[in-house]
Structure 1
């Protein structure tokens, strides 16, 4: 059955009018990837205010792993709204906060006693993870990696390993943050050993390891281009942290909650973090973020040293509990693996511009190149693919500096929807390659 239903020119007149209002009323720094306004979203399909339907392979940049408006989540939210919205946990407790903390303590990787604490956004949780690590170790230094993305607040922005559209013009940045190279096997010929040596060189020229509070990494760099390191690299970072008493922070904001075929991506590397940071898909689109980690680290700050007015809001906690149930009950971890295998198979045709297909579960990056010899970026081709697929009713995002097609389909997407969307993408690439 066809999911795509194009009724009018894209964007339609209603979306175009609303876009004009947005440009007059909303700060231009807030970007919108597509010039349409959503009226309804169900599963993997969005319908705009002009009546056009789209297969959504962006899923809110992996915020909607269980799809748009999943019924169990919606029902739980409606039930909670009839009781109370949010009494603010800093004033009075509520059970969903404690129930979710207990559940995360069970499912986050690590064979040790854990505690959890909640915040509003991924960036806020990242900043609090750094606070906790500094408080626990009594140290200042933080090591992050090239091409990483950790958020847009001041410290999270400093941790992020890219400048354009993130840091440029917003300085001075936070102090005591150092960046090391991260694997990028397609374009960077350095071995894991050489990359680890580069990190260790920081200890010689920039900061003593005894002054480093934390090393923070994304198990898979999402915004950086769906870059997947080796087990060896991640385990070497873990060994360095163990050697020097450094807290290892895993930013699972984009990789978490089933996206990679496991509940958390660190499970692929047979390695555990001391602190795991979550947001995005944790609550099906309701603002919520979390830090779960070793009891002695998370519990180290004194009473009142952590918090936030709306942190751990009731609706987010209720939604998150239902999200976890959906992932477990609907076998969405295996579905993520099926989706990834299907997409890679569909893209395995002879192409002069597809340089590499990277995926872990349903987190897919398609590196587009000018030619396979030079591996030079071909951003204009990516733009053409995105725009033409949009006109045909398929939505997805770019990554890196615009030279990687990033596919993050909802894990509840149907076979028919996935097949239709991939037919559009494959045919579009083939059409553009002959022009």
Structure 2
């Protein structure tokens, strides 16, 4: 495959003209406090004006290194000209009809591509919606309709969304669920594999999960098991080898729909189209969102045709799901990932990060573990000499990094994991520069 080298309009380098946040960001923050709900919290009150590749430019002209990609959305980089052109061209012709009233080709083309790209060689059908949480909700509805069962299981440390149903499936109570109940019933959280914290092999962890399902829910009562191949918000938790294989076998034997939530891990984030490819697992249903449309709202549920078609016409859908502009953007994104070989770029980012930050556990006493795959890494922070979670250190590291022009993410059920999810087009030089800033932050905290 020929790899296309992109020409960036903004120089791919960190450059600070003011202190961060700058004066215009401070002024905007004052306006925000007066008009926006405080419930929409922000990691860094630095207001952005434009972006390109792995660089964000704020309203004061500072250039910052983006290590978050809008939590995995801008996998292909910011403001790719082909995505902008595809969306603009579509917007000039047709912006909305509602696919379930009068359909259009883009929706069909995206569904065809998802059938081709998701794991498994069986017939697959899709539904397109607006967000990851909406995709998860629809996957729950589809699995319940197909199996005739009600119970849904998600793994400990999971994050599946912020709607009433999906935050019930989300593990930690703060801040997503606190004071938000009552919640839907028949939703269960079951033990997962967290090698750094439980020390279990994949087989041992799977046996624990299966035993919990069997004794607390009942295998014949369970409609679906939802798993994230890598738990992003949960702290970039990567289960031990063999874990998913055992769960997949258990689900098959007991008629349980196995759902891979690839909202954060899909679309070349981990060096494959979907992270489940790394372990050779074929899910029954896959949820896709975030990186699929380059910043435009789009999500999908894709899966076995007989499961997807179990729902009666009109049972799933939504006004804006799979709208013409978002689907045009998605088709451009899918073409870019193939044309620019971005799965290989994610693998390059992984290799560069491992070489650059892999020894942080030896260099910094507050670093308990560095783990990751593709362009998705977690650095778990602990109190020195222990494995006790250290959320205060994470807060300090992020504050230092953002004030020096590097935007990472927080994560973890205890808010103690530094998460790095840069666009896969980030250069090795930018990774090195960002890592130097993070090293300064870790040293200052330590």
TM-score, normalised to structure 1's length? 0.96
Aligned length: 432
Does residue 95 in structure 1 map to residue 108 in structure 2? no
The alpha carbon displacement at 1:193 in A equals 3.5
Aligned 8 A contact 1:65 1:284 in 2: yes
1:150-175 CA-partner distances (Å, limit 9, x unpaired): 00101111111111112221111111
Residue 193 of structure 2 corresponds to: 183
TM-score, normalised to structure 2's length? 0.94
312, 324, 328: which one aligns with 2:334: 324
The alpha carbon displacement at 1:36 in A equals 1.2
The alpha carbon displacement at 1:2 in A equals 6.8
After TM superposition, the structure 1 stretch with the greater mean CA deviation from structure 2, 106-115 or 200-209, is 200-209
Does residue 137 in structure 1 map to residue 147 in structure 2? yes
Measure, in 1, the Cα distance between the counterparts of 2:29 and 2:440: 30
Residue 40 of structure 1 corresponds to: 50
Aligned 8 A contact 1:260 1:362 in 2: yes
Does residue 412 in structure 1 map to residue 422 in structure 2? no
Measure, in 1, the Cα distance between the counterparts of 2:406 and 2:217: 47
Does residue 387 in structure 1 map to residue 399 in structure 2? yes
342, 345, 353: which one aligns with 2:366: 353
Aligned 8 A contact 2:210 2:247 in 1: no
1:227-306 aligned within 5 A:
227-306=237-316
Measure, in 2, the Cα distance between the counterparts of 1:323 and 1:234: 29
Measure, in 1, the Cα distance between the counterparts of 2:214 and 2:235: 30
The alpha carbon displacement at 1:9 in A equals 1.9
Measure, in 1, the Cα distance between the counterparts of 2:368 and 2:212: 32
3-state SS in 1 of match to 2:195: coil
After TM superposition, the structure 1 stretch with the greater mean CA deviation from structure 2, 413-422 or 32-41, is 413-422
The alpha carbon displacement at 1:220 in A equals 0.5
Aligned 8 A contact 1:354 1:368 in 2: yes
Measure, in 2, the Cα distance between the counterparts of 1:385 and 1:172: 35
3-state SS in 2 of match to 1:231: coil
The alpha carbon displacement at 1:351 in A equals 2.1
Residue 334 of structure 1 corresponds to: 344
182, 206, 213: which one aligns with 1:196: 206
Measure, in 2, the Cα distance between the counterparts of 1:224 and 1:150: 10
Residue 180 of structure 2 corresponds to: 170
3-state SS in 1 of match to 2:198: coil
1:89-127 CA-partner distances (Å, limit 9, x unpaired): 122111110111101100111121101110011000100
Measure, in 2, the Cα distance between the counterparts of 1:351 and 1:36: 28
1:395-422 CA-partner distances (Å, limit 9, x unpaired): 1111102211100000111233222222
Residue 376 of structure 1 corresponds to: 388
Aligned 8 A contact 1:231 1:270 in 2: no
3-state SS in 2 of match to 1:175: coil
After TM superposition, the structure 1 stretch with the greater mean CA deviation from structure 2, 206-215 or 101-110, is 206-215
Q: Mark the runs of 5 or more structure 2 residues left unpaired by the alignment.
A: 1-10
3-state SS in 2 of match to 1:103: helix
The alpha carbon displacement at 1:203 in A equals 4.3
